[in-house]
Chain A
Amino acid sequence: MIFTSLLETAWHALTTHRMRSFLTMLGMVIGVAAVILMLAIGQGAQVMVRGAIESMGSNLFIIMSGAVSSGGARVATGDAPSLTFDDADAIRELPDIVASAPVSPGGAQLIYGGVNWNTSVYGTTPDYAVVRNWSMASGSFFSDADVRRGARVAVIGAVVARELFGDEDPVGKIIRIKQAPFEVIGVLASKGQSLDGRDQDDTVLVPISSAQQKIFSNTLRNRARFIMVQAVSEKRMAAAETAINDLLRSRHRIGVGQDDDFTVRNLTALAETAASTTRIMSLLLGAIAAISLVVGGIGIMNIMLVSVTERTREIGIRMAIGARRRDVLWQFLIEALTLSLIGCGIGLLLGIGGAWLVGRLAGLPVAVTAASVLLAVGVSFLIGVFFGFYPARRAAGLDPIDALRSQ
């Protein structure tokens, strides 16, 4: 028997029972649509997290003043930071380190003309731009010379630029940070949200020396709340961490058995954790959707079994006039496959449409990938074969005489 005849026979059987075929397909439609939609949302979340990780900068350590013991944070708020600018410089000299920026963070009110804006201010060095992989939208970053002489210059984030200046070009303008006048020399390129949901563009960077003298009125000069460090590669991160620990312990004269007065954290590892969490969430969503696909497959098997019972006499007639067992097997298998693949097609359209709607209406990032489409089609095909085979084999195994006598 030729393949086109099989398709013709299957198509005829399905179109003579339109309502039943439609209802049977519905399970597959919903299953495939759910898989596509869930994977799209999961993929979207992964894309978002990956973007946040990239904007954070790669191969990052953050070294914080104070220790975190097994009992929890032990550092009191009033304590002076244990890290110094010299620590940051010494770390930069280590073999696996690219850049090392001491940071002194704080909040401050900015004023330009009649507008004011509260934001976070980071006193730091030019290495910070390297570490955070932060490029300029306009103007330039401050230099090491600016840091040495405590220059009153500031680099502002995209949000600050928009809030204070609107359409005006901020570069060259004077703003007041806690009353002290600073010249804006650059605007940072936009990065968007960080992993913890903060707007990274709502910030002002100034030389760390100027921040301590003019803004935070810090009495403890040359001390940094934390140091951000970039290693040469992900492979060298473990070695770099050990080297940093050894260096700081010897510089801070911490004896054997004594607790550290600093904490080194691998930010890249933390980010990887966040990424794998999203991946697991995405897998979970997909798995739940896949269950509905399997339920749809069982629906197909159910209807095919009913159909085989109903059409026993037809099967007997076909066998009497020369249908071989495998012709009957194929007839019902192709019917099940046609149902599942048409259901899959409709489900794909619904799923992609639904993903688009979710993206538009809920503002969630969604990404329908070729892989998820291929997965849905492949699984539908397998389900059609798997759940179609049992009823088909039942039909093919009928005895022609019994089948002819039925009804």
Chain B
Amino acid sequence: MAKPAAPLIEVVDLEKDYPTGAGVFQALRGVSLSIAEGEFVAIMGASGSGKSTFMNLLGCLDRPTRGSYHLDGQDVSRLSSDQLAALRNREIGFVFQGFNLLPKLTALDNVALPLMYAGMGREARRRQAQAMLERVGLGERSHHTPLQLSGGQQQRVAIARALATRPRIIFADEPTGNLDSETSRQVMGFFSQLNREEGITLVLVTHEADIAAYARRRIRFQDGRVIEDVAQAELAA
């Protein structure tokens, strides 16, 4: 397997502390790794292992206490919160376990929301949002609100929203946690297809081995450190 020259994500000695009543809790204790463009990575670990903290840092929702994070060669720790917001908007899509759709907005308006923050005009963003909904097979449901959709449909709306600004990376945090196994398979199949056909980099946080099996690389966290980082080809062998 040929490795691309410049990694899309590169973290070195990443640490994150949280102040608690009893002192400082070290959620991450020095993580160094890189992820190349087009990879499909599963991040695993028990709760409290630091995988969610790591995900928030990679997703530019949070800043590391120590260490460096370069996204596409750019030092993220130097960016202002507005620059981080713009980066999230342009380069990153999020898919959450609880879908996190705005309940009062229609599917179409939910998908169009990131485009609004990208500064796109109303008509253009509605067109693009409609196209994204059709891609996830919900073209007919664009005027339903989340409460009128099933869990699987809601997650597809969330995926359409994550794809709306055509980002290079999608972070999915337990995306199938609230779905039944059949729907989970559909969602994971769709992720695999996105990764294979469009080269979108996928970082998936999960604790389920069968979900992690869709990824081609597996990183396991324990006590704030990486304890395993293997390509799925090796696993299979």
Tell me the A residues contacting B by CB distance below 8 Å.
1-2, 4-5, 8-9, 12-13, 16, 313-314, 316-327, 400-401, 404
Contact = CB atoms under 8 A, between A and B. Distances in A.
A314 B102 CA distance: 6
Interface string B105-125: 100000001101111011000
A390 B165 CA distance: 32
A321 B117 contact: yes
B34 interface: no
A9 B102 CA distance: 12
B111 to A, nearest CB: 10
18 contacts: A5-B122, A9-B116, A317-B100, A317-B102, A319-B85, A320-B100, A321-B88, A321-B89, A321-B94, A321-B117, A321-B161, A322-B88, A322-B90, A323-B85, A324-B86, A327-B85, A400-B62, A404-B61
Contacts of B62: 400-401
Interface string B60-78: 0110000000000000000
Contacts of A326: 82
B71 to A, nearest CB: 15
Interface residues of B, number: 28
A322 B56 CA distance: 14
A320 B61 contact: yes
A231 B233 CA distance: 111
Contacts of B105: 12
Contacts of B3: none
Contacts of A323: 85, 117
Summarize A's interface: helix, strand, loop or mixed: helix
A2 B118 CA distance: 9
A317 B85 CA distance: 12
Interface in B33-67: 56, 59, 61-62
Contacts of A8: 122
B192 to A, nearest CB: 23
Given A320-B61, A400-B61, A325 B100 contact: no
A324 B82 contact: yes
B119 A324 contact: no
A323 B81 CA distance: 10
**For A318, A319, A321, A400, which residue has the most chain B Cβ atoms within 10 angstroms?**
A321
A9 B90 CA distance: 21
B86 A1 contact: no
Given A317-B100, A321-B89, A323-B85, A4 B117 contact: no
Contact of B81 (A317, A324, A404): A324
Given A1-B119, A317-B101, A401-B61, 19 more contacts: A2-B116, A2-B119, A16-B104, A316-B100, A319-B85, A320-B59, A320-B100, A321-B114, A322-B86, A322-B88, A322-B90, A323-B85, A324-B81, A324-B85, A325-B81, A326-B82, A400-B61, A400-B62, A404-B61
Contact of B122 (A4, A313, A400, A404): A4
A181 B82 CA distance: 96
A322 B118 contact: yes
A401 B56 contact: yes
Nearest to A323: B117
A348 B29 CA distance: 62
A5 B82 contact: no
A400 to B, nearest CB: 5
B88 A320 contact: yes
B102 A322 contact: no
Contacts of A401: 56, 61-62
Contacts of B88: 319-322
Q: 7 tightest CB-CB pairs across the interface, nearest first?
A: A322-B89, A322-B117, A324-B85, A321-B114, A324-B82, A16-B104, A5-B116
